[in-house]
Structure 1
Amino acid sequence: MQTQNRILDDLAKVASSAMGAAAGMRGEVEARIREQFERIITQMDIVPREEFDAMKAVAVKAREEGEDLAQKVTSLEARLAHLEGGVKTATKKVSSKKTD
């Protein structure tokens, strides 16, 4: 009986150390994979999130300003057309008075 207990204890110790070694290998493999990903990302020259968000905000602001400018141009064109229309009407009235 004592012999069987000893064999089981030895097997438990071997299994325990094998599990510890497997956990250590897992940690080492994860570290190596992380290093490889970091190296690949560095080589790809990927933009950091903060920089992307800043440029996105700049682009949104530029788009809004462009839309505002387009509206102002449209408004100014309408005013100019109205003023030119008024000038043409006034010159027609002056021209018709001269012929009378």
Structure 2
Amino acid sequence: MSARPRIFDDLAGVAGGAFSALSGVREEIGAMVRARVDEALANLNLVRRDEFEVVREMATRARIAQEATEKQIAALESRVADLEASMTTPAATSYRG
């Protein structure tokens, strides 16, 4: 009778050892997969999210500045056109001081 519990103990030990070995293999495979994915992502030259957000903010500010500059240029062109028009009117050219 004492042989029966020993067999179960041996089976439990073998099962526990196999479970530990499989767990270790699973962790090793997971680490290898993570390393391969990291390597593939590094080769793709992907940008991290925080870097992308910074560049997007810079682009937004540049676009706003460009629109403001375009408005300034349009206003200056209008003033130049008005000045040129006022210089070519007959009243301005007939005056000889």
Cα deviation, 1:11-68, whole Å, max 9, x if unaligned, reads: 1111111110111001100111011112111211222334323322221111110111
> What TM-score comes out, normalization by structure 1 length?
0.70
Give unmatched runs, 5+ long, in structure 1: 95-100
Higher relative contact order by CA 8 Å / sep ≥ 6: 1 or 2? 2
- Asked whether 1:72 is paired with 2:72, we answer yes
SS of 1:46's equivalent?
A: coil
Matches within 5 A, 1:1-100: 1-80=1-80, 87=86, 91=89, 94=91
Aligned-partner Cα distance in 2 for 1:81–1:91? 13
Find runs of 4+ consecutive structure 1 residues off by over 4 angstroms: 77-85
Which residue does the alignment assign to 2:95? none
Aligned-partner Cα distance in 2 for 1:79–1:7? 102
Give unmatched runs, 5+ long, in structure 2: 92-97
| Of 40-49 and 59-68, the range deviating more from structure 2 | 40-49
Aligned positions, number? 93
| Of 63-72 and 42-51, the range deviating more from structure 2 | 42-51
Letter in 1 for 2:89: T
> What TM-score comes out, normalization by structure 2 length?
0.72
**Percent of residue pairs bearing the same amino acid type:** 34
Aligned-partner Cα distance in 2 for 1:83–1:76? 10
SS of 2:47's equivalent?
A: coil
More helix as a share of residues: 1
